């Protein structure tokens, strides 16, 4: 009997050993999983699948990650099924993205998928057959650093190996580390989300004429949304700039010549001459460009703001400085810090810890106004409830007592209760949600050739049950989730077998959303975007000149409907127009110009939309709610898609004409939201042979004290000394100090701006001392500036504040503008 039991146990053990393959000695769990993946793709299956991802296996959280899938059929029958990608978002919810695929018998198929990932550490790619059975699974463990923020730099060059000196360099006190990727012409994305993983694209020693029209369009859209494009020129300047000349160059440049370039005195060893290199340089002038690295005679690196992004052009070819940068890698730090600025680099560092939460809260704030018509009439409900209490209590009792029918009181109470219940139900019909509903905000950015639509939606349901929605398949979709790091919640294990929260199926005719395990009214935020041709040539057009603080020119409404609350924003100045009829042209000559505080998007938005006229919130006032909704969307737009220092003018406008369901393919759903129309115009800053520009286009160098360039503000307790670059290409004739307009100073409906009050000093290069300027003086002529301008056209100003603590410890400094003639 004992022998039978032992034999039975051994048989069971051998059976289990055959069913469960244990990892070999020294093999990790992930190795075992990888081995299982390869077993799934063995020759006994009808299909095989190979997967690659990211750039050389690298990825970033909160971005689109390219996933390349290759399917091969070994069967004599065609295969039809689905490629499914499982990703964990930053809030730890599981999102599934499904793409239908068909492979002919004995054929192969290559698909490039752009997958939005929240926590970019692990993805699961699965091949599902037509019966819903999983055939193959690939676990992708991505290379994502968690200790140091990374700057992803793509390189387009015929000699990319000579730019390897950039890789691994620490930037901004090593808070950000560069990681480079060699890009190939044939594999360059032709749509903007394919570039989403990059922070900087370097083009040097390369002919941009080899790029297709779609690839160029994708690059420009990527820059507009915040990307940084850096050109090297030198001997091949014509080739590098070929496809971008019309958008960037102000005028033709002379043929490149050999010049002596000062790389910086910090690289001298035996004397000042050690820091000079003889390089072939191109003297390129950009439209609205600002030199951020300069010699005494010419600019080494010039930048210009495009939308939320930056375009930089170097005078030399980055290939030519290979030997120098290998010996002095800190020059790469100097170059990229000058190009990007500390603010952009600090944002990269902070994103490592906060993730996409900043965008989540911004979108939530933009979409949280909702539809005020859905709010119940509280006064009416209070009157109804009070009437019910009075009737059901003493009223009904006294009435029945008078009629000597007190025995019917209980029955009467039940009847009256049912009646009032029915009345309350009927009163709430208009305020009750019956199905999935949407709140949205749409930004329509128009150019001569195309219209970029950016739509943000909040999708909710009033029930605790799964639901499905069909969206227009032409949209690119990105979930917007917040990080759970604030709650210190440990990340759960992600095995690929978890049930999904959201499934997105990309079909030919629709994009199908399926949401499950969601509580009623739980918000689901998504970013939708698409580009369409501007075949009807609609938009807001204009011809604008900005000179000496005044605006000239015209603005025309080319939409077939009227627009209102039109704002023209440029260089810290704006013009507001009440409205434009279809086809109407408005002359701007003589229209008041408003100077607004920098980096104060909500304040600027409130002034444009008129919400500043409401000192107190009043959600029962439809006019106030409309103005607030417009303020929220404009504020979001200025933060995400625009820059206050921009050589272009941004025109924004609103209309009562709305397209409530433009993103929905079908279904009668309730939608509420706001559309905003924008266009970009070039601004002429020249008049009578003179040029007008802001001295803040290039961030002032801090000599002493604490200065915050984003808001042009200073910590008022200590003196602040700043060195302003007025441009070494300009013969200065006039310098002006300008403050925000009076309406921003004490208007409680906008905000309080604490202006600088105190003494202003100029550094005198002849005496080596700071000279006190006359109080209240705001304009200085060239003769008055002779002793204060350096050979490189810089001006050092010291601010000594005497109003610290009036409202807060931070004060807004004056904005400096300069007028001069080109050298």
324 in the same domain as 262 = yes
Query: Which DSSP string corresponds to 153-177?
Result: EEEE-S-GGGGGGGTT-EETTTTEE
Q: What is the CA radius of gyration of the chain?
A: 32
Give the pLDDT mean for 135-141.
92
**CA dist., res. 211 & res. 194, Å (int):** 15
Q: Which two tokens stand for residue 162?
A: 């000579």
Residue-level pLDDT at 104: 92
Give the torsion sign (CA, 782, 785, 791, 795).
Answer: negative
Comparing CA positions, the residue from 443, 370, 372 lying closest to residue 623 is 372
Residue-level pLDDT at 44: 56
Residue 92: CATH number of its domain: 2.60.40.10
401 in the same domain as 315 = no
Establish if 730 belongs to a structural domain: yes
Residue-level pLDDT at 372: 61
In which region does residue 768 sit, left (phi positive, over 0), alpha (psi from -120 to 50) or beta (all else)?
left
Establish if 365 belongs to a structural domain: no
Establish if 567 belongs to a structural domain: yes
Min mean pLDDT across 414-418, 436-440, 796-800 is at: 414-418
Establish if 78 belongs to a structural domain: yes
Q: Which two tokens stand for residue 285?
A: 């002038």
Establish if 207 belongs to a structural domain: yes
Q: How far apart are the first and last CA of the chain?
A: 108
Give the pLDDT mean for 162-177.
92
DSSP 8-state code for residue 421: H
**CA dist., res. 719 & res. 706, Å (int):** 8
* Assessment of whether the complete model's pTM goes beyond 0.75: yes
Contact 816, 695 (CB under 8 A): yes
16 in the same domain as 56 = no
541 in the same domain as 620 = yes
Confidence of residue 445 (pLDDT cuts 50, 70, 90): very high
201 in the same domain as 68 = no
Contact 280, 234 (CB under 8 A): yes
**CA dist., res. 565 & res. 675, Å (int):** 13
Phi/psi of residue 241, nearest 5 degrees: -95, 0
223 in the same domain as 250 = yes
Please state, in angstroms and as integers, the Cα–Cα distance from residue 40 to each residue in 8, 25, 50, 705, following that order. 32, 22, 11, 64
pLDDT for residue 739 is more than 60: yes
Residue-level pLDDT at 616: 80
pLDDT for residue 613 is more than 90: no
250 in the same domain as 166 = yes
Comparing CA positions, the residue from 451, 446, 384 lying closest to residue 419 is 384
**CA dist., res. 632 & res. 674, Å (int):** 10
Q: What is the 3-state secondary structure (H, E, C) of 307-332?
A: CCEEEEEECCCHHHHHHHHHHCCHHH
**CA dist., res. 167 & res. 741, Å (int):** 47
56 in the same domain as 126 = yes
Confidence of residue 33 (pLDDT cuts 50, 70, 90): very low
Residue-level pLDDT at 9: 38
Establish if 386 belongs to a structural domain: yes
**Residue at a domain's end among 618, 650, 684:** 684
Give the torsion sign (CA, 394, 395, 397, 403).
Answer: positive
Task: Kindly state the helix (H) or strand (E) to which residue 471 belongs, with its residue range.
Answer: strand 467-471
Q: What total number of domains does the chain contain?
A: 6
220 in the same domain as 295 = yes
35 in the same domain as 47 = no
Residue-level pLDDT at 352: 66
Tens of pLDDT, residues 752-794: 567 888 999 999 999 999 999 998 899 999 999 999 998 888 8
**CA dist., res. 737 & res. 720, Å (int):** 16
Residues contacting residue 315 through CB under 8 Å, at least 6 positions apart: 233, 234, 259, 261, 279, 281, 282, 283, 284, 298, 299, 300, 301
**CA dist., res. 823 & res. 818, Å (int):** 14
Task: Kindly state the helix (H) or strand (E) to which residue 36 belongs, with its residue range.
Answer: helix 29-40
Phi/psi of residue 743, nearest 5 degrees: -65, -15
User: Sheet holding 707-708: strands in order across?
Assistant: 707-708, 713-715, 810-812
Residue-level pLDDT at 29: 34
Residues contacting residue 699 through CB under 8 Å, at least 6 positions apart: 341, 709
Confidence of residue 25 (pLDDT cuts 50, 70, 90): very low
Query: Which DSSP string corresponds to 499-560?
Result: PPSEEEEE-SS-EEEEE-S--TT--EEEEEEEEEE-TT--SEEEEEEEETTEEEEEEEE-SS
327 in the same domain as 180 = yes
pLDDT for residue 358 is more than 80: no
Comparing CA positions, the residue from 241, 205, 327 lying closest to residue 277 is 327
Phi/psi of residue 591, nearest 5 degrees: -70, 135
Please state, in angstroms and as integers, the Cα–Cα distance from residue 627 to each residue in 160, 169, 225, 564, following that order. 52, 48, 26, 11
**CA dist., res. 153 & res. 199, Å (int):** 6
Confidence of residue 631 (pLDDT cuts 50, 70, 90): very high
Please state, in angstroms and as integers, the Cα–Cα distance from residue 396 to each residue in 58, 380, 384, 388, 457, following that order. 76, 21, 15, 10, 50
Domain that holds residue 387: 378-420
450 in the same domain as 383 = no
Establish if 555 belongs to a structural domain: yes
Task: Kindly state the helix (H) or strand (E) to which residue 379 belongs, with its residue range.
Answer: helix 378-390
Establish if 776 belongs to a structural domain: yes
Give the pLDDT mean for 710-716.
85
pLDDT for residue 535 is more than 60: yes
Tens of pLDDT, residues 665-682: 877 888 888 899 999 888
pLDDT for residue 345 is more than 90: no
pLDDT for residue 22 is more than 90: no
Residue-level pLDDT at 34: 36
Query: Which DSSP string corresponds to 122-146?
Result: EEEEEEEETTS-EEEEEEEE-B--S
Contact 801, 716 (CB under 8 A): yes
Contact 265, 272 (CB under 8 A): yes
**CA dist., res. 809 & res. 503, Å (int):** 50
Confidence of residue 541 (pLDDT cuts 50, 70, 90): very high
Please state, in angstroms and as integers, the Cα–Cα distance from residue 764 to each residue in 95, 339, 407, 719, following that order. 63, 30, 102, 17
> 324-327 long-range CB contacts below 8 Å, 24 or more apart?
324/263, 324/267, 324/277, 325/165, 325/166, 326/165
Give the torsion sign (CA, 529, 533, 535, 537).
Answer: positive
Residues contacting residue 425 through CB under 8 Å, at least 6 positions apart: none
Over the chain, what is the mean pLDDT?
Answer: 84
Beta bridge partner(s), residue 302: 291, 313
**CA dist., res. 123 & res. 64, Å (int):** 12
**Residue at a domain's end among 141, 168, 200:** 141
Give the pLDDT mean for 579-594.
92
Residue 161: CATH number of its domain: 3.40.50
Tens of pLDDT, residues 548-579: 888 999 999 999 999 999 999 987 889 999 99
**Residue at a domain's end among 684, 717, 739:** 684
Report, in this order, helix, strand and coil percent for the chain, each rounded to 5: 25, 35, 35
Residue-level pLDDT at 453: 92
Contact 513, 477 (CB under 8 A): no
799: helix, strand or coil: strand
Confidence of residue 370 (pLDDT cuts 50, 70, 90): low
Burial of 310 (0-12, 13-18, 19+ CB in 10 A): buried
């Amino acid at each position: 009997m004992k022998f039978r039991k032992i034999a039975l146990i051994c048989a069971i053990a051998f059976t289990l050993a055959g069913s469960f393959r244990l990892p070999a000695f020294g093999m990790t769990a992930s190795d075992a999983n990888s081995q299982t993946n390869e077993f799934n793709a063995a020759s006994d299956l009808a299909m095989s699948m190979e997967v690659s991802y990211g750039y050389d296996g690298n990825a970033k959280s909160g971005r689109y990650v390219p996933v390349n899938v290759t399917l091969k059929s070994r069967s004599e029958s065609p295969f039809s099924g689905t490629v499914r990608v499982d990703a964990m978002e930053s809030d730890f919810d599981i999102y599934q993205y499904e793409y239908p695929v068909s492979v002919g018998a004995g054929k192969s198929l290559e698909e490039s998928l752009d997958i939005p990932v929240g926590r970019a550490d692990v993805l699961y790619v699965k091949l599902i057959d037509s019966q819903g059975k999983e055939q193959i699974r690939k676990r992708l463990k991505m290379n994502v650093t968690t200790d140091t923020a990374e700057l992803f730099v793509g390189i387009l060059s015929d000699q990319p190996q000579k730019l390897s000196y950039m890789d691994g360099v620490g930037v901004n006190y090593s808070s950000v580390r560069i990681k480079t990727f060699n890009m190939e012409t044939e594999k360059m994305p032709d749509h903007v989300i394919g570039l989403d993983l990059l922070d900087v694209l370097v083009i040097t020693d390369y002919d941009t004429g080899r790029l297709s029209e779609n690839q160029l369009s994708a690059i420009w859209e990527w820059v507009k949304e915040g990307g940084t494009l850096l050109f090297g020129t030198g001997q091949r300047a014509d080739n590098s700039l070929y496809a971008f000349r019309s958008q960037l160059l102000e005028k033709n440049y002379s043929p490149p010549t050999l010049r002596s370039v000062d790389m910086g005195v910090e690289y001298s060893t035996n004397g000042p001459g050690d820091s000079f290199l003889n390089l072939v340089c191109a003297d390129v002038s950009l439209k609205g460009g600002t030199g951020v690295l300069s010699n005494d005679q010419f600019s080494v690196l010039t930048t210009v703001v495009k939308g939320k992004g930056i375009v930089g052009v170097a005078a030399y070819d980055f290939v030519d400085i290979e030997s120098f940068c290998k010996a002095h890698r800190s020059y790469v730090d100097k170059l990229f810090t000058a190009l990007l600025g500390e603010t952009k680099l600090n944002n990269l560092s902070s994103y490592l810890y906060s993730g996409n939460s900043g965008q989540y809260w911004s979108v939530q704030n933009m979409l949280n106004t909702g539809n005020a018509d859905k709010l119940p009439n509280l006064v009416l409900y209070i009157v109804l409830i009070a009437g019910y209490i009075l009737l059901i209590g003493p009223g009904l009792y006294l009435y029945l007592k008078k009629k000597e029918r007190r025995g019917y009181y209980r029955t009467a109470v039940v009847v009256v209760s049912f009646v009032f219940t029915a009345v309350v139900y009927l009163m709430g019909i208009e305020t009750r949600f019956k199905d999935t509903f949407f709140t949205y905000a749409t930004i329509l950015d128009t150019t001569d050739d195309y219209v970029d639509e950016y739509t943000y939606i909040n999708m909710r349901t009033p029930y605790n049950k799964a639901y499905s929605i069909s969206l227009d398949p032409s949209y690119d979709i990105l979930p917007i989730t917040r990080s759970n790091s604030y709650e210190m919640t440990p990340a759960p294990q992600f095995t690929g077998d978890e049930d999904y929260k959201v499934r997105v199926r990309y079909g030919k005719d629709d994009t199908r959303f399926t949401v499950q395990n969601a509580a009623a009214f739980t918000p689901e935020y998504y970013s939708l975007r698409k580009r369409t041709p501007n075949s009807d040539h609609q938009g807001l057009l204009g011809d604008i000149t900005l000179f000496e603080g005044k605006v000239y020119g015209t603005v025309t409404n080319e939409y077939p409907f009227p627009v209102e609350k039109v704002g023209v924003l440029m260089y810290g100045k704006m013009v507001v127009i009440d409205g434009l009829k279809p086809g109407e042209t408005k002359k701007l000559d003589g229209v008041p110009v408003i100077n607004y505080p920098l980096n104060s998007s909500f304040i600027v938005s409130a002034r444009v939309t008129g919400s500043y006229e409401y000192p107190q919130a009043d959600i029962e006032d439809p006019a106030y709610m409309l103005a607030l909704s417009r303020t929220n969307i404009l504020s979001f737009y200025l933060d995400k898609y625009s820059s206050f220092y921009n050589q272009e003018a941004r025109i924004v406008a609103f209309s009562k004409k709305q397209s409530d369901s433009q993103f929905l393919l079908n279904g009668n759903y309730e939608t509420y939201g706001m559309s905003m129309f924008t266009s970009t115009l070039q601004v002429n800053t020249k008049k009578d042979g003179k040029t007008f520009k802001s001295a803040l286009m290039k961030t002032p160098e801090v000599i002493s004290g604490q200065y915050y360039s984003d808001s042009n503000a200073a910590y008022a307790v200590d003196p602040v000394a700043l060195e302003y670059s007025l441009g070494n290409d300009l013969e200065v004739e006039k310098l002006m100090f300008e403050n925000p307009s009076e309406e921003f100073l004490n208007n409680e409906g906008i905000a309080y701006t604490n202006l600088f009050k105190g003494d202003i000093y100029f550094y005198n290069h002849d005496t080596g001392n700071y000279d006190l300027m006359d109080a209240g003086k705001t304009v200085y002529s060239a003769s008055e500036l002779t002793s204060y301008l350096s050979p490189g056209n810089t001006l050092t100003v010291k601010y000594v504040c005497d109003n610290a603590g009036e409202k807060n410890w931070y004060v807004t400094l004056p904005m400096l503008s300069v007028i001069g003639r080109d050298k």
